[in-house]
A and B are shown apart, each in its own frame.
Chain A
């Protein structure tokens, strides 16, 4: 058997468009995931605040304990039963964002709690309110520690985004499926798609490594 990439090359434009959509979905989901992760991560810092802690923990348990595909289908096929018909793209972003938010929240919480308690004590002893101390003293330090695990999370998100092809979103995966359906060249198409994901994930980890290095410069943190 010989490999024939011709049908894949001929459709390079739709693959490129698909890759852009993959980037759009992932980046939007990432934004949502980071906001959710920060809120939920901070919400789980103090178990004494029962209600907030309880809500955040319930979210974490449900999202981490069920498959992403099921969550996506709940949004896309389940919500319409309540008359809530969201566009496919929005479902994809919401689904991926809510999913990664759970994991990011644990990264946020872990990084904050890894900062020496003396930092908060010193800030509070100067008279700084809790929120100000968190914003000016704890989070900037915690952020540097978040980068490596966040990088893993970003990469996982890029790869997981392939699932949104099942919500009729024309991401790179979906474009690939279309090529296969007319050319029957599965191996070649999936190889090219794998390569495209590889480029996306490598670029992400490269950027994150650079960011971390520049933040760690001067022996500051």
Chain B
């Protein structure tokens, strides 16, 4: 589908990507406005994560154009150089399914490492900011422990704080709660909800349909490397236009109601 793309914090046009012979993204057109919270849903293998990873250059797009936070990331299939890419990434926070905290560093050092070397903060400034961020995610008492001693939910909250420490304009979440025990999902979603309320622009790949319903401005449905449907959650969840969306939602929602 092709919606008109206006100026925004994220603009994607004709994004295509394949792994070997398998094409995983077929010409994605997409835009996000500042302070928007966009949730991307879709069956496994639909290209959601790959799409998200293209937006901060972890995957190399093959065709199309991507503009993020005023930077041009991909211009007609050509990616910018490493130096510019590093610059862009400081504006785009990324939160991974598997947290990827640095196990050899304390929680505090996990958060201050990048700001100290990239934003040229003094140790003192970086630490003050980090402690403030830890307070925000409710973990100020964990500043000096190592990630190995944290629960999954705590790790993910630290990972969010670490990404926020670079003062990003945009946050990408790649299935942030999928690796968590069910009882730990809530604390992470809570933090994300607070972020959204503060006006952070967020792009979230998730299977948490309740969260999508409550927090998202826009829900994007992907299937087989294409955006098949896009709209406000009320429309997507109660009156989806596409049969594939309906089938997917039925499968997910029936499972979630069985679980709860």
Contact = CB atoms under 8 A, between A and B. Distances in A.
Contacts of B82: 129-130
Interface string B150-164: 000000000100110
A140 B86 CA distance: 22
Contact of B148 (A122, A123, A127, A220): A220
B102 A137 contact: yes
Contacts of A122: 94, 96, 100-102, 159
30 contacts: A116-B100, A118-B98, A119-B100, A121-B96, A122-B101, A122-B102, A124-B58, A124-B86, A125-B89, A125-B92, A125-B94, A125-B163, A126-B90, A126-B118, A126-B162, A127-B114, A127-B118, A127-B166, A128-B118, A132-B117, A137-B102, A141-B102, A141-B104, A218-B146, A218-B148, A219-B148, A219-B149, A220-B103, A220-B148, A221-B103
Given A126-B166, A127-B89, A144-B104, 13 more contacts: A116-B98, A118-B98, A122-B94, A122-B96, A124-B86, A125-B58, A125-B89, A125-B94, A126-B163, A127-B87, A128-B118, A141-B104, A221-B104
Contact of B100 (A118, A127, A129, A144): A118
A119 B159 CA distance: 12
Chain B interface size, as a band, is 20 to 34
Interface of B: 56, 58, 82-83, 86-90, 92-94, 96, 98, 100-104, 113-114, 117-118, 146, 148-149, 159, 162-163, 166
A129 B118 CA distance: 9
Interface string A127-160: 1111010001100110010000000000000000
Contact of A220 (B83, B100, B104): B104
A216 to B, nearest CB: 10
Given A129-B82, A219-B146, A220-B148, A124 B89 contact: yes
Interface of A: 116, 118-119, 121-130, 132, 136-137, 140-141, 144, 218-221
A176 B100 CA distance: 55
Counting from the closest, the 5 A-B pairs by CB-CB distance are: A127-B90, A122-B100, A126-B114, A125-B94, A118-B100
B159 to A, nearest CB: 8
Nearest to B114: A126
Contacts of A121: 58, 94, 96, 100
B86 A128 contact: yes
A199 B132 CA distance: 53
Contact of A125 (B56, B87, B148): B56
A218 B150 CA distance: 12
A127 B87 CA distance: 6
Contacts of A129: 82-83, 86
Contacts of A118: 96, 98, 100
Contacts of B104: 140-141, 144, 220-221
Point out which of A119, A122, A127, A128 has the most chain B C-beta atoms below 10 A from its C-beta. A127
Contacts of B83: 129
A126 B82 CA distance: 13
A218 B82 CA distance: 36
